[in-house]
Amino acid sequence: MPVTLTGEEYVDMMGVLFTSQYLSGRESYLRMSEWKDEIANVLGQNGFSRDEITQLGKRFVQKAEQVREQTANWREKLFESTSIEPATGTETTSVRMLAQDNQIIDVLVDLGFQNSRSDAIAYFAHKGLEYNRYWLWLHRDDIAKAISSHKKIADEIRGRSEIPVHCPKCRNIIGMHSDYLIWRSGGIRPTNTTCSSCKTEWVYEIDVRGRVDIKQAERT
């Protein structure tokens, strides 16, 4: 037991640790009594009385139950705090992994742990989120603030400057692009468009510095 912690702080920390282990599938709830006994031994070695140990043991159980209840709907609470619309179903995602991790995944698949590499990766990704569910629940408001700040900054940058594309014949605007998006995408690739004023067909592209190259579309 760290000497800088009080008895209450120590058992609260252990309650969070036990429940995190349980939620990630790395610990059984049936072993709570064993954790409680171990905590009692540590407290006894640090000079706590029998009555104090009994009360702190109850506090450990209460803390573990509190964390489990608080995080029961952690996904819903996280989406609610961040104003993100929860997606439904499943999605296919490309993942860059360490070669050694892939080797271990393949071994587990070969042993029948999962039907495929994709299923195994999805399983461990899900378990990783579940393992950190208490942290995600605890910091949901901080995550929401960070997302809000990021969106605000991005919106300000995107609205900094718009680059118009003019029709060479009548000077009508036939396209408008954010310089931020041009920079992020590495420029605008050749784009076909027709001037709404003179009805001339054009092809234009914009390089990463915002320079417009436009020419009349070739008739086929």
Q: What is the DSSP string of 13-27?
A: HHHHHHHHHHHTTSS
In this prediction, residue 75 carries a pLDDT of 79
Of the candidates 144, 190, 197, 207, the one whose C-alpha atom is nearest the C-alpha of residue 172 is 197
Backbone φ and ψ for 28, nearest 5 degrees, come out as -100, 140
Q: How much is the pTM?
A: 0.44
In this prediction, residue 76 carries a pLDDT of 81
DSSP label of 190: E
Q: Are residues 63 and 80 in the same domain?
A: no
d(CA 36, CA 54): 10
Q: Are residues 47 and 101 in the same domain?
A: no
Assigned domain for 27 exists:
yes
Assigned domain for 12 exists:
yes
Plot region of 171 (φ>0 → left; ψ -120 to 50 → alpha; else → beta): left
Beta-bridged to residue 162, according to DSSP, are 178
Total number of domains constituting the chain: 3
Q: Is 134's pLDDT higher than 80?
A: no
d(CA 20, CA 25): 9
Assigned domain for 194 exists:
yes
**Cα distances (angstroms) measured from residue 203 to each of 165, 169, 184:** 11, 13, 21
pLDDT of 143-182, one tens digit each?
Answer: 888 877 777 666 665 555 778 899 999 999 999 888 777 8
pLDDT of 47-106, one tens digit each?
Answer: 899 999 999 999 999 998 888 887 777 778 778 887 778 777 777 778 888 899 889 889
pLDDT of 6-56, one tens digit each?
Answer: 889 889 989 888 887 787 667 787 888 899 999 999 899 888 999 999 999
Run of H or E residues at 77: helix 74-82
Assigned domain for 19 exists:
yes
Tokens of residue 73, six digits: 């709907």
Tokens of residue 89, six digits: 């179903």
Q: Are residues 119 and 173 in the same domain?
A: no
Query: Where among 140, 155, 170 does a domain terminate?
Result: 155
Residue 166 sits in which domain range? 162-216
Q: Are residues 148 and 170 in the same domain?
A: no
Assigned domain for 90 exists:
no
Q: How many CB atoms lie within 10 A of CB 19?
A: 24
